[in-house]
Amino acid sequence: MMVAVEREYKAGRKHYLDNIRWGTVLVVLVYHVFYLYNTVGVPFPIAQDAGLRTFDIFPYIVYPWFMVILFLIAGISARYALQKRTNREFLKDKVTKLLVPSTLGLFVYHWISGFINLKLGGVLDAIPSFIRYPVFVISGIGPLWFIQMLFLFSVLLVLIRRVDKEDKIWTFCRKINIVVILLLVFLIYGAAQILNLPVLTTYRFGIYGTAYLIGYFVFSHDEAQNSIEKIRIPMLIVAIILSVAYIIRYFGVSYSSEECLTSFLTNCYLWAAVLAILGCGKAWFNRTSPFASYMTKSSFGFYVVHYLIVQLSCYSVYQYGSFPKALNYFLALSIELPCTVLVYELLRRIPVIRYLVLGIKIKPQILS
């Protein structure tokens, strides 16, 4: 295994992008515990008195940037994938890996999460029995919004490529220097103001679509990645300073509110954090190991299955335990993280289910 890992590294695979991706997915898994125990009005917590205000600092720190960086890295990865595949092959792969789990998977696995949402929300009894299952399905989307949007952006990207057949946009973006990369904060800020759904606030098409396309057209260039690496320390310092200013300014305000997410301070902080993470990742984490290789292959599956598990973990600890509130977070995490791995490993071994829930399509072996 180590020999294979070494060969892959020498072949030029950018392991730091893989490591940032799965590391960010782990942050998402941890975040959802803090989210379900939040006390600052972000809907929908397990209970209003389930958490501690001090512990809300963690979601304030990560919420502005963690999904932006996932979309940006997805854009970079799309560029690399399309260097080896046709548009048709790329979309076919996205249908299997993204569209199927985020649609058909709702009917198989995520409807249970929808049931829990409605049960905790106290509205289950108000729903007629004959339409409960479809309502459970719709209510179970949860974090799958990310996968749904990623599929839409993949389709949009293919349409752009069909118009720009000579790849002029990507070639032009090779000229972008570090000054322009820093100034992209204004593009990010502008994108944060538009195409935000009013009720389903996680569907922020403007900023997430912009991050995806910036990843594809700008950060897929080695020159851009090298430039970010050179300023990693200043950007890390700026990100830390801005995070403190952001928390001081908005702590107590719902971190998912329009007031917070569309502010210039928030978007300056998120862009500094994104650049700092990319730069530090390239400098310090461009390596792999058996554990990192496993996480690279499995983190998408962890993301898909984890939310039902974190719901059950947080609810069980709060409802059936009588622990100090601070301990609830750590107990919920100690249940969620290993159970997420176990459920993923179980589901990926079940024929049909692994395709519908995880987008894993086993290729038939050709007998010689």
Q: How confident is the model at residue 366 (pLDDT cuts 50, 70, 90)?
A: very low
**Separation of alpha carbons 73 and 16, rounded Å:** 11
The chain-wide mean pLDDT, for the chain, equals: 93
Instruction: Give me the pLDDT at residue 10, please.
Output: 39
d(CA 274, CA 286): 16
| Listed residue (9, 100, 83, 16) closest to 296, CA to CA | 16
Q: Mind spelling out the 3-state secondary structure of the chain? A: CHHHHHHHHHCCCCHHHHHHHHHHHHHHHHHHHHHHCCCCCCCCCCCCCCCCHHHHHHHHHHCCCHHHHHHHHHHHHHHHHHCCCCHHHHHHHHHHHHHHHHHHHHHHHHHHHHHHHHHHHCCHHHCCHHHHHHHHHHHCCHHHHHHHHHHHHHHHHHHHHHHCCCCHHHHHHCCCCHHHHHHHHHHHHHHCCCCECCCCCCCEHHHHHHHHHHHHHHHCCHHHHHHHHHCHHHHHHHHHHHHHHHHHHHCCCCCCCHHHHCCHHHHHHHHHHHHHHHHHHHHHCCCCCHHHHHHHHHHHHHHHHHHHHHHHHHHHHHHHCCCCHHHHHHHHHHHHHHHHHHHHHHHCCCCCHHHHHHCCCCCCCCCC
Please say if the pLDDT value at position 3 is more than 70: no
45 or 110: which leads in pLDDT: 110
Task: For residue 339, give every residue at least 6 positions away whose Cβ sits within 8 Å of its Cβ, in sequence order, or none.
Answer: 309, 313
Answer yes or no: are the C-beta atoms of 21 and 73 closer than 8 Å. yes
Specify the pTM.
0.94
What pLDDT score does 2 carry?
32
Q: Would you place residue 130 in the very low, low, confident or very high pLDDT band (cuts 50, 70, 90)?
A: confident
- The string of pLDDT tens digits covering residues 184-208 is 999 999 999 999 988 788 999 999 9
Do residues 130 and 159 make contact, with C-beta atoms less than 8 angstroms apart?
Answer: no
Mean pLDDT for 301-306 is 98
Assign 364 a pLDDT band (cuts: 50, 70, 90).
low
Find, among 342, 323, 368, 294, the residue nearest to 22 by Cα.
294
Q: What count of residues does the chain have?
A: 368
The pLDDT of residue 227 is above 80: yes
Cβ(15)–Cβ(9) below 8 Å: yes
Residue 5: the pLDDT is 35
- Six token digits for residue 362: 């086993």
For position 117, what pLDDT does the model report?
87
Q: Answer yes or no: is pLDDT of 1 > 70.
A: no
pLDDT higher than 90, residue 48: no
**pLDDT one-digit tens code per residue, 309-356:** 999 999 999 998 888 999 999 999 999 999 999 999 999 999 999 999
* Residue 7 reports pLDDT greater than 90: no
| pLDDT confidence of residue 363 | 65
